[in-house]
Each structure stands twice: as structure tokens, then as C-alpha cells.
């Protein structure tokens, strides 16, 4: 959550047992405060309107919310009423919202986006499992805590319905509302799944799938237009598209959505049911315990037979083991009858110094030897070869051509003529496996930090091919490689494709029409710097941004300075110096200014009646109606000014 702001006038100082110390934010539903109890911080949300007759229902819903699994949610801990207005207390999550983080740092990609999808789908499944419909799932209600994403503001459906009726506010945020919320149809968990899909679109593209402009066009697009999925790709794109189906019946449930994200349907059934058939779980070589003392571990019943792992003491496993011991002691066949007709079997004691596990190991070794013999010894006629004795214990599935062994060869006697075979050498094929030709592999070079052209050259020199190039928002230099797939150092077949992620720079935000301070904040939030600020005298509100350089939408490297042209409300004062008094006065009046004149005596007769100076200089910006003083030239007088005394004579007066 953002840093708490001071409480405003009229904000409560306390709600129930919780002392409020600041504001965390405010939305259409209510204000969120930072509260504390016994030194522990909590987030306390006070709704704008009362719930009327729904108090009991609201409290029951809060009780349900308390039982929502808390590993991906902000746990609800308490609720109450303040002068009829409900408040709900939940765990305080110290982290920004997904909306704020995407706005400041850009869309999510790759593993970060997939982790966000799985975490939020898990939270949604836990909320639905508790019998709650969130109804306002959106990026602002996903907080990015230090231990992962947390979903907040669930458990308010009853209160929001009642408060919306009283205050006239809608329930839900338009850009993330499901069609059934707009048409006032029945709202179920499918609406939350729709909102989840819209939230994932925002996380991947920094914009909602149906736009974020005025309410009416957004709602119309939700009901009629296909979603804009943007840079979502692969399996996640398919899932999000299914979640944004306009018919709630066609959307997956939150549980199905989570399983699809985890890829449960792709896990082979045999992995979930039992270990692979070729693995033997051998018990320690200790004297066999009685059946009643055995631990409940699975042990093999028949090596190589699917589903052959049974718990000790079960009827099938126990009888099979005992039958095998009894039959082999009597020289009979294997329990499944596969040993009948193959001669007597060597006796194997079922009890004593040879535990059943050791017998199973011996049987497995004999089976392995038989497989090796099959690969290297041609098949002989039944009449010419003696048969291999079979060991007691687990039976081996019969083969179409049983393995036969040759009689022992006396090294002192010459080799005899090769045995007759049932197939020709051509039919049997070569006796040795052909050499395996492995394709040449090369390591993927380290490409991060290079520009695209240099990375392309390095890929070619490594014997690889350039694959897809994806441009991502990044403060890095435009064209700089951010990453590659496969990862650097990985060995791949020569000629494989290497995909690149390349910086597309940052787009200059559209700040025209904003006040200067807001425009500067927007540029800083976008990772850019504020450049020179030029004022232009126009008939626009003072301080309003008129244009930027570079222009809005142009992509630049992070930290680039953006110059602003800012309005200065008023009109430009025209230059009238040198003009005649009449012409200058007319020009100023036409520009919307009042005129004051003042004469000044000049010696040069050519400057008489000419404007010598003006109070507001040319190019200055002044409000219309402002007075501009102009100084014009006056001719000198030829005689004394009227009223001036004549010069007193210097000689003596007659009276003297």
C-alpha cells in the first residue's frame, strides 16, 4: 500500500478497537485507513454508505471471509459499524497495488506475469471455496507485498449491494466488470473469473482489454466488442481469452483456471499413480519382520507389470509372495503359470537368511541378463538349445520370441559349426547397433547489453539463426538487447533460432492540457526528465501545457529531458516605438490595451510626435485591458513659458 497520508477533517479518529493514524487511499466504495491495535498495524476500510437491513447478512459474510485461505489474500480479521456505516478490518500489506506498480514500472512479462497469474488465481479459488463472490476484482485490489501478491476487498458483497442502493454508486469498476454485472443478471464466481482475465490484460499491457476511457463506451465494448489481448501470448493468452467470454457459462471456474495454469492435465497418469515399473524399491537386508510388524510402505509385487506396487499385508501382494515361495520350494511354476513347462525351478526359501527383497533383486538381475542376451544372441531352434532356468519371484511378461541360451563351451575343444537359426542373417539384420550420430551443439552467446545489429551478428557467428524479436518498454537505450531465449550459455543444436527481447524505449506521455506541475509529475513517473520550460502568451489558462518536445507518443531512452511550452494567460504587447502617436495608440487599442501618454521635449524636430518609449516592452505578456504608457516627442518652445517671471535687470534702480 502507499504511504499513509494525514487524516482529513471529518475523518474518524477511532473505529471500534482500532486507532486510526492515517489514510491509505479512497475509492468509489469507501476510504481505507491505517489502524492499529495492540501495536499491530491493520487496514481498516470504512464504506461510504450504510447497509440498512443487511447488517446481519454482512456480518455472516465477514465470518465466511475470515475462513478464506490467507496465503494469497489479506486476511479479514474483524468488522463492525460506525453510525450505521460498515467497516471491515484486514491484514495490512505493505506494498503498492498492481495498478500503481504497472503505471510506474511498466507491464509484466514472462515469469513475473505467470507468477502473478497463478498467485491471483489461487486467491480467487480460495475466496470462491469459502462461498464468497468478490465482485470487484481489479488491479487496485491486488497488492504486491514483499512475500508475493495478495488479493484484498473480498467479503464485502452484501455491504456493497446495500451501500450502492443507498448512495447510488455502482458495485464494481467499469473497465473490469463482467457483462452480467452490467446487465444486472445473476452474478456468480464467473464474474470474478472475467475480472481476473481483464486484470491479467492490464498487467501485460498497462491497459484494460476494453479500454479505460469514459464509462459508457467501456461498458458498450464489454457487451459487444472482442477484448484487446495485446502482448499476452502462448497458453496464458488462450486462458485469458476463455475467461473474457461474454457468456458466463463458457468461462472456466476459478478451480479449473488454476489447474490449467498449473498444467495438471499434462501430468501423465502413471506418474500420479505409481513409480515407473523398472524401479525396484528394495528393503534393507535384515531378517524379515512378521507381517504385523511391517511398515506401510509400498513394495514391488511384479517387476515390469503395470500397477504392481501394493501395500504389505494386502491380499494380492501377500498371497503372491507366499505362493511364489511355496511353489519354488516344491519345484513348481510361477504363480501366474508362466513358469509351467519350462522345467523345475531352483528352490528359493521364503524365510531365513535370504529375504524376499534379495530374491527380487536376483530376479531383476536375471531379467536384465535375459534382455541383454536377446539383443546379442541369435534365436536358436527349440530342439537345439536348452532353456534358461527361471528364478522364483516376480514373473516377466512372455515375449514373442523367448530367450534361449547356448550350452557351455569347452575352451579346450574346437568350436563347432554355428547352430541353425530360424531366420536368415539378412532377416535378423546387423548384430551390432549402428553408431549414433549426434547433432553438433553450440552455446548461446551472451547478448544482453548489445544493440540489435551487434546481437544479430553474434548469433550468426555462433552458427545460430535469429528468431523472433520482441520489443518491450524499457528505460534502456532503444534497440538494446534485454534478454534472449534460450538463455546464454545453454547448448543448442547448430542452426537453432534465438529469440531476442529488445528495448523499445519509453513513450513520452501525453501531457498537453495538464497544468505544469501535473505534467512534470507525469514525466517523472514515466521515467523521463523535465527539460526547459518556455512560456507562450496565449488566451489559455495560466500554467497549462501547450506542447512538448519530443512530442507525445515518441519513444525515447529513459531519463531523456522533455521540454515544455506552458501557457501564460494574456496578450502580447505590440512594439509601437518609432511609430507616430496616432498609429501607436491605435495598435495598442487593437491589441486590447488601454493607453496613457506622456510628452517629452526633444531637440530633433524629426522626433516630434513620434513615440519614444513604451511602459510595457514589446513581447511582454499582459492581461487584456492593462494600461500601457507611451512617451512621445514634443517640440521646444521659442519664447518664455507663460507665467515665468522676466529676467531682473542688473543695473541700479532710479530710486537709488
Please give the positions annotated as active site: 136
Question: How far are the Cα atoms of 438, 441, 481, 488 from residue 491, in angstroms, in the given order?
Answer: 13, 6, 20, 9
Give the Cβ contact number of residue 649 at 10 Å. 7
For residue 2, what is its C-alpha cell? 502507499
First-to-last CA distance in the chain?
Answer: 107
Q: What is the dihedral of CA 98, 99, 101, 106, to 10 degrees?
A: 110
Distance CA 325, CA 358 (A): 13
Angle between helices 98-105 and 189-205 (to 10 degrees): 20
Residue with cell 509400498: 298
Distance CA 154, CA 157 (A): 7
- Asked whether 143 and 119 are in contact (CB, 8 A), the reply is no
Q: Which of 437, 436, 418, 438 is CA-nearest to residue 428?
A: 418
DSSP helix/strand/coil, 280: coil
- Asked whether 157 and 135 are in contact (CB, 8 A), the reply is yes
Which DSSP string do the residues of 49-114 spell out, in sequence order?
Answer: S--GGGHHHHHHHHHHHHTS--SSB--EEEEEEETTEEEEEEE---S-BHHHHHHHH----HHHHH
DSSP helix/strand/coil, 629: strand
Distance CA 485, CA 550 (A): 33
For residue 533, what is its C-alpha cell? 520550460
Give exposure, 253-288, as e/b (b: 16+ Cβ within 10 Å). ebebbbebbeeeeeeeeeeeebeebeeeeebeeeeb
For residue 266, what is its C-alpha cell? 499434462
Q: Which of 454, 473, 468 is CA-nearest to residue 555?
A: 473
- Alpha-helical segments (H) within 177-314: 179-182, 189-205, 215-224, 234-243, 254-262, 269-273
Distance CA 516, CA 567 (A): 9
Q: Which of 516, 534, 537 is CA-nearest to residue 624?
A: 537
**In the 8-state DSSP scheme, what is residue 618?**
T
Bridge-based pairing of strands 465-472 and 497-503 is parallel
Amino acid at each position: 500500500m502507499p504511504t499513509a497520508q494525514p487524516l482529513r477533517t471529518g475523518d474518524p479518529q477511532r473505529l471500534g478497537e482500532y486507532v486510526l493514524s492515517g489514510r491509505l487511499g479512497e475509492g468509489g466504495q469507501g476510504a481505507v485507513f491505517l489502524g492499529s491495535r495492540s501495536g499491530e498495524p491493520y487496514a481498516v476500510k470504512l464504506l461510504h454508505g450504510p447497509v440498512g437491513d443487511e447488517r446481519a447478512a454482512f456480518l455472516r459474510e465477514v465470518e465466511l471471509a475470515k475462513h478464506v485461505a490467507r496465503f494469497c489474500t489479506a486476511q479479514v480479521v474483524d468488522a463492525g459499524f460506525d453510525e450505521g456505516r460498515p467497516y471491515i478490518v484486514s491484514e495490512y500489506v505493505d506494498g503498492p497495488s498492481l495498478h500503481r506498480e504497472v503505471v510506474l514500472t511498466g507491464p509484466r512479462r514472462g515469469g513475473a506475469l505467470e507468477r502473478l497469474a497463478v498467485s491471483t488465481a489461487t486467491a480467487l479459488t480460495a475466496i470462491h471455496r469459502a462461498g464468497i463472490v468478490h465482485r470487484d476484482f481489479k488491479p487496485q485490489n491486488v497488492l504486491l507485498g514483499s512475500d508475493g501478491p495478495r488479493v484484498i476487498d473480498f467479503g464485502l458483497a452484501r455491504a456493497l449491494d446495500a451501500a450502492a442502493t443507498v448512495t447510488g454508486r455502482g458495485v464494481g469498476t467499469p473497465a473490469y466488470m463482467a457483462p452480467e454485472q452490467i446487465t444486472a443478471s445473476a452474478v456468480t464466481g464467473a464474474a470474478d473469473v472475467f475480472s481476473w482475465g481483464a486484470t491479467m490484460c492490464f498487467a501485460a499491457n498497462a491497459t484494460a482489454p476494453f479500454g479505460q476511457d469514459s464509462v459508457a463506451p467501456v461498458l458498450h465494448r464489454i457487451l459487444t466488442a472482442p477484448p484487446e489481448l495485446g502482448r499476452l501470448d502462448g497458453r496464458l493468452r488462450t486462458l485469458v481469452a476463455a475467461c473474457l467470454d461474454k457468456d458466463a457459462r463458457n468461462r472456466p471456474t476459478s478451480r479449473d483456471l488454476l489447474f490449467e495454469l498449473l498444467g495438471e492435465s499434462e501430468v501423465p497418469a502413471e506418474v500420479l499413480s505409481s513409480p515407473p515399473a523398472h524401479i525396484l524399491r528394495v528393503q534393507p537386508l535384515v531378517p524379515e519382520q512378521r507381517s504385523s510388524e511391517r511398515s506401510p510402505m509400498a513394495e514391488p509385487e511384479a517387476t515390469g507389470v503395470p500397477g504392481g506396487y501394493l501395500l504389505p499385508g494386502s491380499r494380492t501382494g501377500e498371497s503372491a509372495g507366499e505362493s511364489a515361495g511355496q511353489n519354488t520350494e516344491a519345484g513348481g511354476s510361477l504363480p501366474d503359470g508362466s513358469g509351467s513347462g519350462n522345467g523345475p525351478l531352483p528352490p528359493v526359501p521364503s524365510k531365513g537368511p535370504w529375504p524376499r527383497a534379495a530374491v527380487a533383486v536376483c530376479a531383476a538381475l536375471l531379467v536384465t541378463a535375459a534382455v541383454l542376451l536377446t539383443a546379442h544372441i541369435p534365436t536358436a531352434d527349440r530342439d537345439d538349445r536348452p532353456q534358461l532356468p527361471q528364478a522364483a519371484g516376480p514373473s516377466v511378461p512372455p515375449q514373442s520370441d523367448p530367450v534361449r541360451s547356448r550350452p557351455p563351451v569347452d575352451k579346450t575343444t574346437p568350436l563347432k559349426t554355428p547352430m541353425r537359426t530360424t531366420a536368415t542373417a539378412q532377416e535378423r539384420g546387423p548384430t551390432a547397433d549402428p553408431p549414433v550420430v549426434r547433432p553438433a551443439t553450440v552455446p548461446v552467446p551472451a547478448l544482453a547489453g548489445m544493440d540489435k545489429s551487434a546481437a544479430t551478428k553474434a548469433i550468426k557467428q555462433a552458427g545460430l539463426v535469429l528468431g523472433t524479436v520482441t520489443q518491450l518498454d524499457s528505460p534502456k537505450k532503444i534497440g538494446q538487447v534485454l534478454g534472449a531465449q534460450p538463455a546464454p550459455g545453454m547448448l543448442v543444436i547448430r542452426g537453432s533460432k534465438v529469440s531476442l527481447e529488445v528495448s523499445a524505449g519509453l513513450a513520452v506521455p501525453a501531457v498537453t492540457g495538464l497544468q505544469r506541475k501535473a505534467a512534470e509529475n507525469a514525466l517523472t513517473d514515466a521515467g523521463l526528465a523535465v527539460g526547459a520550460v518556455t512560456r507562450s502568451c496565449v488566451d489559455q489558462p495560466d500554467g497549462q501545457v501547450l506542447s512538448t518536445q519530443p512530442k507525445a507518443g515518441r519513444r525515447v531512452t529513459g531519463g531523456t529531458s522533455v521540454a515544455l511550452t506552458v501557457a501564460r494567460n494574456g496578450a502580447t504587447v505590440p512594439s509601437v516605438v518609432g511609430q507616430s502617436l496616432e498609429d501607436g495608440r491605435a495598435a495598442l487599442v487593437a491589441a486590447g490595451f488601454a493607453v496613457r501618454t506622456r510628452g517629452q521635449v526633444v531637440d530633433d524636430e524629426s522626433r516630434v510626435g513620434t513615440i519614444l518609449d513604451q511602459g510595457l516592452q514589446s513581447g511582454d505578456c499582459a492581461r487584456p485591458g492593462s494600461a500601457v504608457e507611451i512617451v512621445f516627442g514634443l517640440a521646444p518652445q521659442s519664447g518664455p513659458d507663460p507665467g515665468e517671471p522676466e529676467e531682473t535687470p542688473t543695473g541700479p534702480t532710479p530710486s537709488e
